[in-house]
Amino acid sequence: MKWLYLLAFAPPLFAQTTLPGGSLPAPVVLQKTFTTGMMGFTTGQTARLNVFNMNAVPAATTSTTSTTTTQPANCTVELQFFDNKGVVVSQTTVPNFAPGATTSLDLPRASVTSETAIRAEIRGVVVINPGASYASLLSGSSCSVFTTLEIFDGTGNTVALTSDTRAMPALYAVIVEDPLR
């Protein structure tokens, strides 16, 4: 059986896509994106975007003959910093982000060259499963993450912290059977 893949950027676009019989296909989220609000930092400070994979770490199962562990699928996360003009100033991708693991991305104030003032405004963005395929999503490779953005000074003292993130519009896919096959 062949499938026709239709990609779109927002669920309202699906209102025009119907299956035979007039039913609407269910959209599948290909990636989830979360952003923090804008946060300012100044000379001698560093912004750190922290991400924790909240998926459960499996417990080992012991039998009389062997010990086995069922591992949930790891996911991919992309961490990004944007300046106040919406330009990416730093990013990294973690391709094998395991349940229970943490990762972070640091951005020293001196790295934000788009700002000429002493104080710069940035925001952190986390993209879960960027570029994921429909097959990988069906296998359960999606992550549930907890994100914080902190600002710390040269002595390592945290001067600002937020865990308030908001979901951004997602990339959706609709899988429909090719009516010509």
- Tokens 């059977």 map to which residue? 177
Task: Give CA angle at 124 (111, 97), nearest 5°.
Answer: 105
Q: In terms of DSSP H, where are the helices of 32-166?
A: 134-138
How is domain 31-58+71-168 classified at the architecture level of CATH?
Sandwich (2.60)
pLDDT score recorded for residue 78: 95
pLDDT tens track for 130-150: 765 555 555 555 688 999 999
pLDDT tops 60 at residue 6: no
pLDDT score recorded for residue 19: 55
Average pLDDT value for residue range 57-71: 64
Predicted TM-score (pTM) of the model is 0.71
pLDDT score recorded for residue 58: 73
CB-based contact 39:47 (threshold 8 Å):
yes
Rounded to an integer, what distance in angstroms lies between the CA atom of residue 10 and that of residue 12?
6
Q: How does the average pLDDT of the chain come out, rounded?
A: 79
First to last CA, the chain: 7
Average pLDDT value for residue range 39-43: 95
Tell me the two tokens of residue 116: 């000429």
DSSP conformation class of 55: S
Per DSSP (E only), the strands in the chain are 3-8, 28-36, 39-41, 46-53, 61-62, 67-68, 75-83, 88-97, 102-108, 120-128, 145-152, 158-162, 165-177
Tell me the two tokens of residue 161: 């912290």
Rounded to an integer, what distance in angstroms lies between the CA atom of residue 106 and that of residue 92?
10
pLDDT tops 70 at residue 1: no
Q: Which amino acid is at 84?
A: N
Domains of the chain: which residue ranges? Answer: 31-58+71-168
Tell me the two tokens of residue 102: 């943490």
